[in-house]
Structures are given as structure tokens and as C-alpha cells.
Chain A
Amino acid sequence: MESGCIGMVHSSTTETIKKHLLTKRGCVGVTEDTFLITFNEKIDFLPGQFVMIGVDSHGLTRKPFTIGKFKDNLAISVKTVGEGSKYIVETTTPLEVIGPLGKPFIPLSSNGVVVVAPSCIVEGIHLSEHFDISLHVCSKAPLNKDFISAVSNDKMEFHIGDDAYLQLLNKLKFEKYDWVFITGSKMMEKIGIKKLTGEGGKVVYVSYNEYMGCGIGACKSCAVMTKNGIKHVCSDGPIFRGDEICFQN
């Protein structure tokens, strides 16, 4: 859906959204409440895109997850915040999925860096590998040591605690990147945008999380206020330039 054209179905309506059944290949703990799940099946997708995962009777909506690759397997990262996400982590039943959805991430140059919370680590790993750039994982809680040893590489750094995140932003401000991709909590993204845009001189991209009903552009629930009016995470995003977003108090 193009911007400025509210609620219309475009000729892209004829494009089919595929349904998939995904069986788990593995599930590892990233932190106490966050998990990285890999699947046996493959989905053709581009960096930044997401899927909606059905949770059977464990929630009233499918749940959106950015997809990525981990050790060449299709993967998602899941923070357990409710019955739906708990079901996705624990079930042994194949997961019913629609996607890929949303617009892919096309950065302004290849000179960027990725900063993610553990809940978005799959997207971080995938972007880091896809664009061959550094990845900073910023976590409030300690990360699982086995997980760290399984994923570590020379492009990845870990930062634990709020102060470590702020120190990272101060450091990135003076490094010669054109852009910084930040995804995690709204607060994390908001602070990152504030610190790095403007005087920081960086373009910040955020992968936005907003509650979704349909994920396909029908219900208009995942609205985000931007300088160019209301946009929708599922059809205009999920990735937006930070300087476009109007944060509310």
C-alpha cells in the first residue's frame, strides 16, 4: 500500500500471501524469557520482512515476527509476553504462518551498523550477515552463556544493562557510519533516535512493533504517527526512518 492512499486496495491485491506450516528444528534460550527458534522449512523473504504466526486458541490474533536466518535455517526470536508467545515457544505442533509480509529493508548505503535487543536477535543476525556489517546486542538481562558461545563471531558485540546501551550510542555517534538500525523496545528505539539523529548526524532506522490485527493491511490497527501522517506497520513498514516518526508522550 502506498503512502497517502488510506484504506485502498491496490492492484497488488492479486499478489498471493502464502500460507506455510513450519516445524521446529530447534529452540534455544537467549535470555530467561527470550528464545531463538529455527525451522526445518524455508520461506523466500527479504531482510526486514515479517510473518504472522497463528497461536490456535491461545490468542485472538496471529502474532507478528520478523524472520531471519540462523545458521542458514529460517528463524524467529520470541520474547514470551503472553499466552500466544508462550504457545509459540512451547508447542510441538507445526505452526501455521502467513507471509512474508511488509516491505523489505533497503538502507541508504552499505555503511551501517545494527543494534538489537535479544527479542529481535534473529533480525540482527540476519541483517549483519546479509549486509556484512557489525551487530550490537543490547540486553537489560544477562544472556545465556551457551547462546553467546553458539552465536559469537568477530562482527558481534554484547552490551548488558541500560548504561552499556547509552555508552554504545555515545560511541556510535562518533563513528563513521551513515546509518544505525535499532530494534527492540519502543523506549530503546526512541532513545537511539534522539541520541543519533540531529547532532549525531546518523540516519536511524527502526523496525517498529505495534499490535497487529491482520498483518495484511486490512484492519488498520498497526498505525504509527509519522511526519507524513498515519502509516501502517504491516504495509508501509515494518521499518521506518527514525526521523519520520512522531513519538507520543
Chain B
Amino acid sequence: MLSKLNLKVPLIIASGPGGFGEYAKIDGFPWKYVGAYTLKTVTYNKKSGNVPPRMYARDGYMINRIGLENPGIDQFLDALENGEYEFLFKKTNVILSLGGDNYQEYIEVTKKVKPYLHKFIAVEYNFSCPNVSKGGLSMVTDLIEWQSLLVEIRKELPDTFLIAKLGIEGGFIENLVEKAAQSGWNGVTVINTIRGLMFNDDGEILLGGLSGPNLLPIAERAVYEVRKKLSDIYIISSGGVYKEEDAKQLLKVGADAVSIGSAIFQDEQIISRIGKYILENLKK
């Protein structure tokens, strides 16, 4: 079983901020430094997402409550068959991100993607979105059932590089990752956004997932603890990466790859700065 993702640069666009590849439209997008692009999470059923407002940012943090808005697996696969994502496959490796409202939906969505797995370098499962009332983060509340799901998904996809995207709110993250490893999963993405609350300029309360530079120390600690417990699992570090130094630190504490999320909202050229830095440091 594969233990590493073979990426030209260990830099991955996180699921969510990059949508379904819309950034490809921007003139001069730095593809040279994108090791893989993770699509927005696709769930079994279409999701319209949460009612607005959905985002607000201040100082070193932002909050989002998108709620996994996506077309659902059937419409997504139709688009895939119609070649709507070919532009992205031509540019870089693509990671598919999947989710569902419950155990059965995770299994069903897995079965549906089987004929298309050759298009993706890996499949990431979202077990940590804090912005949905069903599925996402709630999947890890019953650890016995969750591990049973991990085992069943592995049986369905025996040869796929499987990644569990995990947050810090379902117990000690290193324990969750251990269960993924025991279930034969290849990697983990740590961490996701953390539940937070902000008031926007209109005085409206946003209950959502917190991201931004202030997440970095939390992500670093999570990566550190996971690597301390599990020496072989492939770790994609995610959370608060905005500068070259952030990536350096995450790699130093045990990450195999660095994920860029909300930082692309500031300027997608962050990818080239961090990617260049990672490549130069890997040579040393």
C-alpha cells in the first residue's frame, strides 16, 4: 500500500477555498508549485449551504459557515463525465473530497465514485466540517461506528490513497488518527477549521469555522502530536499557513505536505512563495 503521495511539490490546495478549480481562471495562477488541488467536498445529496452571512474576517482570523454547498455526487459525476474538470486534471494532481450526512451516505458516495478513481491521486473524506448539522465533525462522535465506517470504506476502495480530514474537536486528534491508521488509511489532513463565533460589521452573529493565521499554533501542535504517535502515517498539515516560515515549521514538526486554504483569498501568489521555499529547503 502506498505510504506517500508522489507530488512534485508537497503543497496542496485545501478543500473548500479553491472550490472546483475556479482559481484556474486567474491569470498567472502558480500551477508550477501546486502538488495537488483538493476539490470542494461533494456529498451524497446536493447541499444548498447555510443561510447568509457566511463569512467575516478580522485581524488574524476569519470565520466561515458555508455549510458544504455542493451539487451532490450525481451532478458532480455528470460534470466529471462531461469533461468539466479536464482543465484541472491537465494542470495538476486532483484530490477528491467526499462527505455525507450519515454512515450510509459515506458508503453510498464511495460506491458511486469507484469508476472514476483513476482520475484522482487520492480521496479525502471530510470528517471534520463544523458547519453542518449532520455528517462532517459529527461523524467522529461515536468512535466505534466511525472506525467501522473507515474499515468499510477501505474495503470498498482497497487500492486508493485514502485521507481522513480531521479536526481537533472530536477528542485528541492523535487518537483519531491512530484509528484511521489501524483501519488501513494512508493519510490524514490535520486540522480543519475550529468552531467559533464572530460578530460582523452589521452586528450579526456568525457561528462557523475559524481559520486564518491564528490557527497555525493549533495546527502545529496537532501535527506534532500525530507524528509523535504515528511515524508512518502521511500527514497533510492544514491551518494558518500564510508564510514560508509557517510551512517550514509544519514540515519540521512532522508534516509530509502543507495545505494552503483561506490564504489564497489574500493572494494566490502565496502558493508560489511557499512552494519555492519548500522546494529550496527540501534540497538542503
Residues on B with beta carbons closer than 8 Å to the beta carbon of A6: 46-49, 69-71
B247 part of interface (Cβ distance < 8 Å)? no
CB closest residue in chain A, given B83: A11
Residues on B with beta carbons closer than 8 Å to the beta carbon of A218: 17-23, 40
> How many Å lie between the Cα of A81 and that of B49 in the bound state?
28
Q: How far is the CB of A242 from chain B (nearest CB, A)?
A: 16
- Among the stretches B2-10, B55-63, B141-149, B187-195, the one at the interface with A is B55-63
Partner of A61, one of B70, B87, B265: B265
- Among the stretches A23-31, A163-171, A206-214, the one at the interface with B is A206-214
B200 part of interface (Cβ distance < 8 Å)? yes
Partner of A221, one of B20, B24, B66, B76: B66
A227 part of interface (Cβ distance < 8 Å)? no
Partner of A214, one of B17, B52, B57, B58: B17
Interface size on A, residues (CB 8 A): 43
Residues 48-82 of B at the A interface (beta carbon under 8 Å): 48-58, 60-62, 64, 66, 69-71, 75-76, 79
Q: How far is the CB of B283 from chain A (nearest CB, A)?
A: 28
> How many Å lie between the Cα of A223 and that of B51 in the bound state?
7
B280 part of interface (Cβ distance < 8 Å)? no
A216 part of interface (Cβ distance < 8 Å)? yes
Q: Is the CB of B57 within 8 A of A9?
A: no
Residues on B with beta carbons closer than 8 Å to the beta carbon of A54: 266-267
Residues on B with beta carbons closer than 8 Å to the beta carbon of A213: 17, 55, 64, 262, 265
> How many Å lie between the Cα of A210 and that of B200 in the bound state?
11
B99 part of interface (Cβ distance < 8 Å)? no
> How many Å lie between the Cα of A8 and that of B58 in the bound state?
29
> How many Å lie between the Cα of A210 and that of B25 in the bound state?
22
B170 part of interface (Cβ distance < 8 Å)? no
Of listed A81, A98, A218, A225, residue having the most chain B CB within 10 A:
A218
B196 part of interface (Cβ distance < 8 Å)? no
Interface size on B, residues (CB 8 A): 52
Contact digits for B254-284, partner A, Cβ 8 Å, 1 yes 0 no = 0000000010111100000000000000000
CB closest residue in chain B, given A233: B52
Contact digits for B81-94, partner A, Cβ 8 Å, 1 yes 0 no = 00011011000000
A7-B70, A219-B265, A221-B55 known; A61+B20 contact, CB < 8 A? no
> How many Å lie between the Cα of A131 and that of B16 in the bound state?
39
Partner of A219, one of B17, B60, B202, B213: B17
Q: Is the CB of B84 within 8 A of A13?
A: yes
Residues on B with beta carbons closer than 8 Å to the beta carbon of A229: 48
B1 part of interface (Cβ distance < 8 Å)? no
> How many Å lie between the Cα of A214 and that of B20 in the bound state?
13
Q: Is the CB of B267 within 8 A of A224?
A: no
List A residues at the B interface (Cβ < 8 Å).
5-11, 13-19, 54-55, 59-62, 81-82, 96, 98, 186, 210-214, 216-225, 229-230, 248
* Closest 6 pairs between A and B when the two form their complex, measured CB to CB: A218-B19, A221-B55, A218-B22, A61-B265, A60-B57, A223-B52
9 further contact pairs, Cβ within 8 A, besides A60-B57, A60-B61, A213-B64: A9-B88, A15-B25, A59-B266, A60-B265, A62-B267, A218-B19, A218-B21, A223-B49, A224-B52
List B residues at the A interface (Cβ < 8 Å).
16-28, 40, 46-58, 60-62, 64, 66, 69-71, 75-76, 79, 84-85, 87-88, 200-202, 212-213, 262, 264-267
